[in-house]
Amino acid sequence: MTRSFRQMLAAAFGLGLAAAGPALAQDKIYRSADAVSGKTMRLGLYEDVPKECTAGPLPEIKVVTPPKHGSLTVRSGKTKAGELKRCPKLEVPAQGVYYQANANYTGADEVAYEVKRVARETQSITVKIMVGAQAKPASGAKGSTDI
């Protein structure tokens, strides 16, 4: 291989890497949840708020593995003022991820989705869901934001 050919290959390879941009790391989260047949439950609420306490753009939610025994829905809305402790007066656009098991289904289900925010690691979230015929007793649930 001639020197100029090696230089061209090196330059082309370098340009290919530069065009792809830096790879952001991925944050992997594994959770479990209990659901009730036919009832909708929120799996997560996602917003993008930088340190300056300003509203960022809506995160991008991508379903990786849809549920086998129900449906997964993404809804847009706003959080209420006071939901974010570090920014108590701020209302921000948010995406809520909701799961609903098929009517009369009981057993295990699983979903996986990604949350992409500007200038942050992509979160890869997997939720194992146990679906029962009736709700389990509440155990000191925190307040929530409706979207």
Residue-averaged pLDDT of the chain: 81
Residue 144 has pLDDT above 70, yes or no: no
Q: Could you give the CA distance from residue 13 to residue 131 in angstroms, rounded to a whole number?
A: 50
Q: Are 121 and 27 in contact (CB under 8 A)?
A: yes
* pLDDT digits 0-9 by tens, 75-119: 999 888 778 788 888 898 999 999 999 999 999 999 999 999 987
Residues 6+ apart with CB under 8 A from 88: 81, 82
Q: Where are the domains of the chain?
A: 24-132
- Bigger pLDDT: 20 or 27? 27
pLDDT of residue 119: 78
Number of H helices, E strands in the chain: 1, 7
Q: What is the mean pLDDT of residues 127-136?
A: 90
- What is the pLDDT, as a whole number, of residue 59? 93
Distance CA 146, CA 28 (A): 26
Res. 48: pLDDT tops 70: yes
Q: Decide if pLDDT at 50 tops 90.
A: no
Domain at 24-132: CATH architecture: Sandwich (2.60)
Which two structure tokens, joined as six digits, stand for 100?
Answer: 């609903």
* pTM, full prediction: 0.73
Q: Residue 26 pLDDT more than 80?
A: no
